[in-house]
Amino acid sequence: MAKRGAPEPDPGPDPDGPTNNSMGPFLGALAVLVVLVLIVFGAQIFSPPGDELTDDDMVRRAVTDYVNAHNENDEPILDRLRCADLPAEEAPLADVDGRVELQATQNISVDGDRATVDVRAGIDGEPQTETWQVVRIDDVWRVCRF
């Protein structure tokens, strides 16, 4: 028997008592994940058609990216946008120092994975037009020669 006034020792957690192992947080997180997946799939299914870029759009983008990389003097990007068999010194704009103003990409002619495009650009304030050759390699259009 315990003495009067002395606190009784704490017996610890009751092994038969309630536990705090609830499935609520897990089920809540699972529900949030399912909703997010449904939103992503729904957006792709119900997105308006026409979001796909045409070959002409991709050729224009390749030319624009190439000119921008030239203007930024970004050699790694120029290397990625150029075919491996086209040396940098033989590529379009290789002999141009300074900024190039891309004015138009016209007369795009796509034949399978090859295309030609007339590129009109302002170089030293003078408009010049050249026909560039581009090739699709691994779904990326690159400045090449063929």
Task: Give the predicted TM-score (pTM) of the model.
Answer: 0.64
Q: Which tens digits make up the pLDDT trace of 45-95?
A: 776 655 588 899 999 999 999 999 999 999 999 999 999 999 999 999 988
Dihedral, CA of residue 87, residue 91, residue 94 and residue 99, to nearest 10: -140
Give dist(CA 112, CA 67) in Å, integer.
24
DSSP H helices, the chain, are 24-46, 55-71, 75-81
CB within 8 Å of 90: residues ≥ 6 apart: 145
What DSSP assignment string belongs to 40-78?
Answer: HHHHHHHSPTT-SPPHHHHHHHHHHHHHHHHHTT-HHHH
Q: Domain residue spans in the chain?
A: 55-144
Architecture of the domain spanning 55-144: Roll (3.10)
Q: Point out the least confidently predicted range of 30-39, 68-77, 116-125.
A: 30-39
Give the chain's length: 146
Which is more confident, 49 or 21?
Answer: 21
